[in-house]
Amino acid sequence: MFAASQKRDCERICRLLDVPFQKNGVLGQRIHLNKMSTQDVTLQYYSVLAELCAGWPSRRQAPDAKPMVPKVMMRLGYLRSSDRQIILHVHILNGFDVPILDRITQSSDPYVRLEFYPRCFFPLADFPAQTTKMKKQTLRPCWNETFQFLVPEELFFTNGACLCLSVLDHDVLSYNDLAGQALIPLASIKRVKSLSSKHLPYPTTMAFPLPTARQYTEFFRILKERSGKDTLAREIYNYEKYVRDYRLLPPDALDEKETRAEAKHMFSAKIKDFFREVVH
């Protein structure tokens, strides 16, 4: 309603100044974006983010290349079921170019987390995240694990609905560091005849870059502007900002391999034991 009023006011001003009002101009586009619902803005934000991920170079890096961007080889396909549900099949094969995130061992303990974005369409309570096994002290992990998800057809083909994959480094005594993320539009995944290996598409390799300022598109700026009053905009803005600023998944990501609570308890117990020995 407010955006429509803005448009009418701008058209009046343009008529008074005897200049054309261009819908595709900067002002016209801005008004159009402001008219969009927060859900639609969120979908557009993730759609653009997926395009940025797809455009990232996935070729092997030289050992001295900086920053190191992890790559993961996988196979993806989906089947339609009889009750308007989609069965998504994800086969995580292996990874390489995983950066060193543990300075003590000069290695990493990588695992992959799989989930759906945006959360307003795929709440974790209904679509829980899944993770591969953690591989200890390697920069070239071999997982060879398969996952299946059941997704309603209308959600699967929604523009902006994505499969988000995160490569993380497991740390018992601290936080699980984010090595990189990749978003895949669900609608871009190929349909297969069956879920047998012979019918799945050939493996594809994707780069998993860390969040950068490039993702702060016009859609993200609108979410930021609305975050003061709009709950959904605030959730998306805070989540994405947290991931980029700290390179960690926020607590509400409910990462099953996150041991920060156990780590704090263990560290606290060790400190108490240390002082007990000193006193005695």
Quote the domain boundaries for residue 125.
Answer: 44-57+68-250
The verdict on residue 126 lying in a domain is yes
Question: What DSSP designation does 76 have?
Answer: E
The rounded radius of gyration (Å) of the Cα atoms in the chain is 23
Question: What DSSP designation does 201 have?
Answer: P
The verdict on residue 9 lying in a domain is no
Q: Give how many domains the chain has, as a whole number.
A: 1
Token pair for 157: 């083909």
pLDDT by residue (tens digit) across 212-245? 877 788 999 999 999 999 999 999 999 999 999 9
The verdict on residue 180 lying in a domain is yes
Higher pLDDT, residue 185 or 23: 185
pLDDT by residue (tens digit) across 104-140? 889 999 999 999 999 999 999 999 999 999 999 999 9
User: Residue 160's pLDDT band (boundaries 50, 70, 90)?
Assistant: very high
The verdict on residue 176 lying in a domain is yes
pLDDT at 33: 75
pLDDT at 253: 87
Helix (H) / strand (E) element for 169: namely strand 162-169
Residues 6+ apart with CB under 8 A from 2: 34
Residue 163 has pLDDT above 90, yes or no: yes
pLDDT by residue (tens digit) across 192-203? 988 888 888 999
The verdict on residue 175 lying in a domain is yes
Whose CA is closest to 131, among 178, 100, 158, 167? 167
The verdict on residue 259 lying in a domain is no
Model-level pTM? 0.80
Q: Indicate which CATH number applies to the domain containing 158.
A: 2.60.40.150
The verdict on residue 20 lying in a domain is no
pLDDT at 183: 97
Give the CB-side neighbour count of residue 189, counting CA atoms within 13 A. 28
Mean pLDDT to the nearest integer, 146-165: 97
Identify any residues that bridge with 78 across adjacent strands, giving them in sequence order: 88, 191
The verdict on residue 160 lying in a domain is yes
